[in-house]
Each structure stands twice: as structure tokens, then as C-alpha cells.
Amino acid sequence: MSARVSFVIVSHSASLAVGVCELAAQMAPDVRFEAAGGTDDGRIGTSYDRVEAALEAALAAVAGEGSGVIVLTDLGSATMTVESVIEMSDDPERVRFVDTALVEGAVASSVRAQVGDDLDQVAEAAAALAPRLNDAPAQEAPSPANPPVSGGAGEATASSERCVPHAEGDAVVADPVGLHARPAAAFTRLAETFDAEITVNGVDATSMLLLMTLGVGQGSTVHIEANGADATAAVQALTDMLERTN
């Protein structure tokens, strides 16, 4: 499925806008990003004309039901410029300005765009980022008093409380960069394909940013749990991905 959502990154710095686009594009190679940074004469600031041109290009790059553009900014005056451009746009209903952390919001929501989510879903992912990171559960190291739940990859049991299929298992991360950046993005995209709620060391497996906060490096062991119709297949596939050197 091709991406239905593109992005405009608005910053007071041209270099910063381009850099955020480059970073997010590493996680979402099929998504269109437009940078609108700096003034027309190369100074620090924002330009109505640059934002307008970027928005028009981003809108032209996507089409169909649920398509549109996410606009992210760095500082207040950039937001005012964006609001003016959207107000004058011919397609304001296909544009969502999301007031969230610029870099983290771009990376997290672009992964959602990569898997084919619609405009409202991608906007929701960007907007929900800050509270989700703040609410991330603290990771407690296994200890004799608090041992990890045992079980091989794909071992399935019946969840008596939820009455849904359950599976869990451990995986040793093989990728040299661990569970960061592109490996984390690929992991979340795969997790999204299963009909199951999946966690890795207790955090949502479909949130790339939360996975990256775990600080998992090469050789680390992670615990995967899944609840849902595809629980066993999900744990097995995700374990295989982590234990395979890319």
C-alpha cells in the first residue's frame, strides 16, 4: 500500500528542516517530505512563500481517500506562519497542523504513514507522542525476586483472564545497531501486520519511539509478548527478525 500522507517540516533553520526530513525519511522511505526552513534570503526565520510552496508540493504528492499532509513546526512564530498558509490553502481539510515535538513527532508519525495509515490516524500518532513517552513504564531488570516469565519463542498459552490466544518468548538482538532507528522502524512495521497486541520488554511494539527508549543494543535479550489471534505467529516472526543479522 502506498503512503497516503506526506509531511511538511517547518523550522526557523533551513538546515534543521532538511535534517528532520532526512532522518524521518530513513524510517519511512515511501513517504514524501518537504522542508520549509529559514527566510527567503537565507536568514533564520520562516517564510510564508516557502511554507506555501512546500505545502502545495506535499499535497500534490498524495491522493485518494484519507490522504493529506501533516505539518510540524519548531517554534511559535513558525506556527503562526503555518496557520496563515493553511487558512489560505485550497484544500485546508486535507492539512493537519500538529503541535508536538518536531523531531520525535516526525519520526514516530512517519512510520504510521509508511504502513498506509490515513491522515487522521497519522495526526493522532504525532499528537499522542508526548504523553505516550511520559507514560512509558520504567524498565525493571530481572532479579531472583522478580524473574522474567519463561517460555520459548512462540510458546502459546490460553489467557484465562482475557480468553484470547497468548504467546511470549525471548530474542537475542543481532543487529549491530540494536533496536534503534531503522531496525526499530522495520520492527514496528512488521508488528503492525499481526492481529495482536504486542509488547517488547513491556512497551508497545508498534511505537518506534518507545522501542528506542529501551536502549536495546546488539546482544541484548528482549522479551516479546503478544495477545490476539496472531499471537504465536507474531512472536515467532518478530523473534526471527531480531535474531537475524540485517
Q: Which residues are designated catalytic?
A: 12
Please report which residue ranges of 89-230 form alpha helices under DSSP H.
102-114, 119-127, 129-134, 181-191, 208-213
Give SS3 for 185: helix
Three cell numbers written together for 108: 514516530
Kindly state the cell numbers that stand for 203. 512497551
Distances (CA, A) of 82 to 13, 70, 87, 137, 187: 15, 11, 9, 35, 33
DSSP state at residue 100:
S
| 132 burial level (CB within 10 Å; 0-12, 13-18, 19+) | middle
Looking only at the bridges linking them, the beta strands covering 5-11 and 68-73 are parallel
Helix, strand or coil, per DSSP, at residue 165: strand
Chain position carrying cell 485546508: 92
* Cell reading at 186: 522495520
CA atoms of 112 and 30, how far apart (whole Å): 11
Do 214 and 139 form a contact (C-beta atoms < 8 A)? Answer: yes
